[in-house]
Structure 1
Amino acid sequence: MIGLHVWSELPVGQVSVRAGAMMAGADMFTLTIRGLGGHGAQPQFAVDAVVIAAQIVNALQTLASRETAPAAPIVITLGSVHGGTAANIVAGEVVIQGTLRTLDPALRTHVVRRIAELAEGIATAMRGHCEFKLESAAPPVINDRPVAAMVADAARGVVGEGAVVAFEPLMVGEDFAYFLQARPGCFFLLGGAPEGPRVGHHTPEFRIDERCLSIGFRVMTAAVLRLLQD
């Protein structure tokens, strides 16, 4: 199996191939924090889910900075926090949604357990309750070393020796990983950076230089022909 991803941080004409782990496993999680709603002027009769959520948000930052080796690749991002209905009402429920990215399955298992322990423990200590839900989006992308070497060699025949570059593992996720669990293969990056300021993936401003598409087609074709020959 061979796949590619257009990458806006590489210039057109470059291809990046990495053997072994190249992209992180991606997990999504939801924390539903329940307290007791009440009047904003009478907080003593309520259990403020917003305050509980704030403590949980801060505590989760310590998992990467204080419970993980400094060189271990890990990302915990809380991308959504929703709660409350009005300025003068103590919120009875807050929902936090986040993502966890790891390359090491053992580290993933540890951090998933600690997210649940921290969130549930803090909520209980503050007279509330927290429900933890985990959804796995994709395992790490692990390229087969012989296939990756073959793809890199095929790419050199298309873009030239100096245009095939290495890169450090990325903490983004990709469901092509499931194919690589079933069959040896390689997933590589195709340079497609447009002219002008940097544009990030998954943003409204995202765009590519479409000249890269023909390069990707040629690299894929060359790699497939090499596979058929082997």
Structure 2
Amino acid sequence: MVATFQEIIKSIENDIIGFRRYLHQNPELSTQEWNTSRFIQDQLKEYGIPFKAGYANTGVLGIIEGQQTGKTVALRADIDALPITEQTDHDFRSQTDGVMHACGHDAHTAMLLGAGYALNQRKSELAGTVLLVFQPAEENSPTGGAAQMMEDGVFDEYEPDVIYGQHVWPSLPVGEVGIRDQEMMGASDRFTITVKGKGGHASMPQDGNDAIIIANQIITSLQTIVSRNVNPIESAVVTVGSIHGGYAHNVIADKVTLEGTVRTYQPSVKEKVKQRFHSIVENVTEAFEGEVDITYLDGYPATINTPKWAEVARNSTQKILGPDSTPTVDPVLAGEDFSRFLHRYPGAFIWLGTQIDSKEDQMGLHNPGFMLNEKALSSGSAMLAQVASDTLVHLQEGETSE
């Protein structure tokens, strides 16, 4: 009797946890993932999985060809870490000062290696090809590594008919998975506003032009975009997250720099917010007789699932974790570079519940105290393998029916 994906994964569960812990101890920032890339390649060699490397410099593509002809499915994991100093008491905490896997990419990589092993063990049953996409620089917004991998030809020889990505999700308990039919995550634009006034003595404001006053009016006015220009049933966020300006208590500031982000789901809303953003910043500055420089960076587009493949992923998940494992979840406006793959290929993005046992101590993604529950890793690997296998079957059935 052929072993199930769960049974195969169970036999290497310690490997998967070990991979995750090694990567957690040895994190590397976006575009610098050289050791991580070599580690992935070494594990693929050990598992007997052919691969190609060098996409976006450190990206790796594992290739599992089934012994039956068919379509192609891709599974993606991101591999980079964040510039954060870890504040956990793990005995496998980061050994690199100022760098931490605070977004779970170490787990993503480990789980994809495990899924690759399981799929390779059952490749005689696969009707088609499964691609293992290990992507660098996901955290390097707005550039990212997905577009660069595709530009470098990662899918030139094997082009996916469907692609899936998975992300650990600390607000969901182990055993639950979030899969939406459409919007999962938002478009993530960034901006920098440099306001220029005229400096002077604080006691003689008539001789200067206070850049802080201008910046204050800009911040206040930007908040009207969401409240007065965006349809209330649609979603948008405009946040100014950083303000730098001024010299001393008795000096009128001649320059203030504001940095922030714009988050949306729908392209039409994104363009409306962007247009109003520029209009408000420019007109407010002009009204106060100042000058302004605006840098607006279009970031990752919204991550929007293909309903058909979201449903396949949901059914595959329930095979692994049971009928109650896919609760209804709300989308979030955090950005994700996987969206670039979904803009070119149909597929779905999945949230894997990884909440730690002491829920009250759970820190969120990108927090220096972030932790995840390693009990979820084996099921995450099995789920990836199952969804790839099931998708190939659906693709084959669709081709036959046509």
The correspondence for 1:130, drawn from 292, 297, 310, is 292
Alignment of 1:78-89 (within 5 A): 78-89=240-251
Structure 2 Cα separation of the partners of residues 15 and 110 of structure 1: 33
- Equivalent residue, structure 2, for 1:105: 267
Residue 205 (structure 2) aligned to one of 43, 46, 51:
43
Matched, 1:147 2:328: no
SS at match of 2:212: helix
1:165 & 1:80 partners in 2: Cα distance? 36
**CA distance in structure 1 between the aligned counterparts of 2:196 and 2:377, rounded to whole angstroms:** 49
1:53 is aligned to 2:215: yes
Q: For residue 173 of structure 1, what is the aligned residue in structure 2?
A: 335
C-alpha separation between the residues in 1 aligned to 2:343 and 2:239? 26
Aligned residue type for 2:230: T
SS at structure 2 position matched to 1:211: helix
Match of 1:115 in 2: 277
CA distance in 1, matches of 2:327, 2:375: 19
Superposed CA deviations along residues 135-185 of structure 1, whole A, max 9, x for unmatched, are: 122001111111111111100001101011221221111010001111111
* In structure 2, distance between residues paired with 1:99 and 1:213: 32
**Partner residue of 2:376?**
212
Q: TM-score, normalised by structure 1?
A: 0.96
Letter aligned with residue 392 of structure 2: L
Determine the structure 1 residue equivalent to 2:318: 156
Give the distance between the partners of 2:349 and 2:176, measured in 1 at CA.
15
Give the match's secondary structure for 1:97.
strand
The whole-number CA distance in structure 2 between the counterparts of 1:107 and 1:191 is 30
| Larger relative contact order, structure 1 or 2 (CA cutoff 8 Å, min sep 6) | 1
**Between 189-198 and 56-65, the greater mean CA deviation after superposition:** 189-198
The alpha-carbon deviation at position 210 of structure 1 amounts to: 1.7
Q: Counterparts of 1:164 and 1:196 in 2: how far apart (Å)?
A: 19
How many residues align? The count is: 230
Q: Secondary structure at the match of 1:172?
A: coil
Which residue of the other structure, out of 132, 146, 171, is the alignment partner of 1:9? 171
Please point out which of 353, 358, 379 is paired with 1:191.
353
Tell me the amino acid that sits aligned with residue 217 of structure 1: S
Structure 1 unpaired stretches of 5+: none
Corresponding residue number in structure 2 for 1:77: 239
Q: Secondary structure at the match of 2:193?
A: strand
What amino acid does structure 2 have at the position aligned with 1:223? Answer: V
Counterpart code for 2:200: G
Q: Report the CA distance between 1:103 and its aligned residue.
A: 0.8
Alpha-carbon distance between aligned partners in 2 of 1:70 and 1:227, rounded to the nearest angstrom: 37
> Equivalent residue of 1:11, what SS?
coil
Alignment match of 1:23 (pick from 185, 205, 209): 185
**How high is the sequence identity, in percent, across the aligned residues?**
35
**Could you list the per-position Cα deviations for residues 87-118 of structure 1 after superposition, in whole angstroms to 9, with x for gaps in the alignment?**
22111111111111111111111111111111
Structure label with greater radius of gyration: 2
Looking at structure 2, the residues matched to 196 and 150 of structure 1 have their Cα atoms a distance apart, in angstroms, of 30
Please report the TM-score for the alignment, with normalisation by the length of structure 2.
Answer: 0.56
Amino acid of the structure 1 residue aligned with 2:388: V
Partner of 2:340: helix, strand, or coil? helix
Amino acid paired to 1:213: L
Q: Which aligned runs of 4 or more in structure 1 are off by greater than 4 angstroms?
A: none
Supply the AA of the counterpart residue of 2:377. L
Residue 67 of structure 1 deviates from its aligned partner by 1.6
Are 2:226 and 1:64 equivalent residues in the alignment?
A: yes
Q: Distance in 2 between matches of 1:130 and 1:164?
A: 48
- Which secondary structure state, in structure 2, belongs to the residue aligned with residue 165 of structure 1? coil
Cα distance, 1:205 vs structure 2:
2.3
SS of equivalent residue, structure 1 residue 115: helix
Shift of 1:33: 0.6
**RMSD over aligned Cα atoms:** 1.2
Partner of 1:94: 256
Three-state SS of the structure 2 residue aligned to 1:114 is helix
